[in-house]
Amino acid sequence: MASNGGRSDGSESLPPSAAYVLDKIEAEGSATRQELLAATYLCERTLDRALETLQNGDYITLDRDSEDLRQVVATLADKRSYNPPESDRSR
């Protein structure tokens, strides 16, 4: 199982498979879906759900490879920042 390594980026609330995939992407900087399948030994559905969870949580971005549009590349997203709604800022 993957651990969050003491991170304070909210990743401690991720499902184990998503945390594991995030660790792999952090180690590589970016990876294709096929590379992640080979590196993690997760089934396709589990990997796809982990990538979806990470993308929805703004941990990664998913883009098509410019040289091979069939490939999806997962890359770490820019540092996440919390921007509270205007109503919360006035408190």
Which CATH number covers residue 19? 1.10.10.10
Residue 90 confidence class, pLDDT cut points 50, 70, 90 = low
Task: Name the pTM for this structure.
Answer: 0.74
Q: Do the domain assignments include residue 3?
A: no
Angle at 85 between CA 81 and CA 87, to 5 degrees: 145
Q: How many domains does the chain have?
A: 1
26-52 residue pLDDT tens: 999 999 999 999 999 999 999 999 999
Asked if the structure places residue 63 within a domain, the reply is yes
Q: Which domain holds residue 52?
A: 13-78
Is residue 6 a part of any domain in this protein?
Answer: no
